């Protein structure tokens, strides 16, 4: 019986050492997503007087766009990476800021913020025949 107990305890100790070695060798890593190249997003503001609105983009280099009377604006989107987060043993344990889902586009009109949305939400808007994403403002 004494040898059986010793064998079990050494078996448990070896398992614990293997687990500790596995955890120590794998550690925590950041997995980078591929780069999203520089692009342009076309947006059309549909309202009675679109010329009274401005669009502010809060990307890496913030920029303001004045909306012309026809409501059509082309937004410059710089290259960016989707969120990269820490992984432990292949399981995501946290998140960093994601440019694609962050509310980085803000539409203002006559001193008030009308709407704030992300690139992801912009891509979900319906498109017209020219490829402009249509945003109705009431």
Identify the domain containing residue 47 by its residue range.
Answer: 31-136
pTM: 0.68
Q: Is residue 12 part of a domain?
A: no
- Count the domains in the chain: 1
Residues 15-47 pLDDT 10s: 888 777 766 665 666 667 778 888 899 999 999
130 CB-near residues (< 8 Å, 6+ apart): 42, 72
More confident site: 64 or 13? 64
Does residue 21 fall inside a structural domain?
no
Q: Is residue 99 part of a domain?
A: yes
For residues 52 and 49, what is the distance between their CA atoms, to the nearest angstrom? 6
Contact 52, 110 (CB under 8 A): yes
Q: Is the Cβ–Cβ distance between 104 and 80 less than 8 Å?
A: no
Q: Is residue 10 part of a domain?
A: no
Structure confidence by residue, pLDDT tens digits, 48-61 = 899 999 999 987 78
**pLDDT > 70 fraction of the chain, expressed in percent and rounded:** 81
* pLDDT category of residue 91 using cuts at 50, 70 and 90: confident
Tokens 């500790």 correspond to 20
Q: Is residue 71 part of a domain?
A: yes
């Amino acid at each position: 019986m004494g040898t059986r107990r010793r064998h079990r305890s050494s078996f448990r100790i070896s398992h614990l050492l293997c687990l500790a070695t596995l955890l120590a060798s794998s550690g925590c890593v950041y997995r980078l997503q591929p780069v999203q190249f520089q692009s342009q997003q076309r947006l059309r503001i549909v309202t009675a007087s679109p010329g009274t609105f401005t669009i502010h983009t809060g990307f890496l280099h913030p920029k303001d766009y004045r909306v012309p009377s026809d409501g059509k604006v082309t937004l410059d989107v710089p290259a960016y990476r989707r969120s990269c987060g820490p992984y432990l043993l292949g399981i995501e344990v946290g998140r960093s800021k994601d440019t694609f889902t962050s509310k980085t586009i803000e539409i203002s009109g006559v001193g008030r913020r009308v709407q704030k949305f992300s690139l992801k939400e912009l891509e979900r808007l319906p498109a017209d025949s020219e490829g402009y994403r249509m945003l109705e403002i009431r």
